[in-house]
Amino acid sequence: MTNIEKQKFIALDISGKNYLSWVLDVKLHLSAKKLRHTIDEDNAASNEERTTVLIFLRHHIDDALKYEYLTVKNPLELWQNLNDRFEHLKTVVLPKALNDWSQLQFQDFKTVSEYNSTLFKIVS
């Protein structure tokens, strides 16, 4: 089945390797659409808002994740389930990034563009 609406950003991968950037993208997009409250605890979102956000979240996750969370009907519950599944990545990614940052030296690269590329990979 083809996607009717174009994705706003890259979908969450089943491995979770892009989870941290995906979370930021989702939060920014929902804030811009004034729907951020739908993924917060104790929200008073309408059924229409919940449905809109649930469709949006399901549109921006990997197909395998969609099928795994097929029975979830509340965007807050889906958000929390994904958070529980991938939140541990912060404890894995951050120490590695800090280590890479501390070992980054300009003299180890042949060109400025190689240095910049490595620098941006660490930052992202």
Segment 11-48, tens digit of pLDDT: 888 888 888 888 889 999 999 999 998 988 888 888 89
pLDDT of amino acid 27: 92
pLDDT tens column, 84-102: 888 877 776 777 777 887 8
User: 3-state DSSP call for residue 61?
Assistant: strand
pLDDT of amino acid 108: 82
88 vs 70 pLDDT, higher one = 70
CA nearest 59: which of 22, 20, 17, 86?
22
pLDDT of amino acid 78: 92
The CA distances from residue 11 to 44, 47, 103, in Å, are 27, 24, 31
pLDDT of amino acid 1: 43
Average pLDDT over residues 74-88: 89
Is the pLDDT reported for residue 124 higher than 70? no
pTM of the model: 0.68
Is the pLDDT reported for residue 9 higher than 70? yes
Is the pLDDT reported for residue 107 higher than 70? yes
The neighbour count for residue 17, using CB atoms within 10 Å, is 13
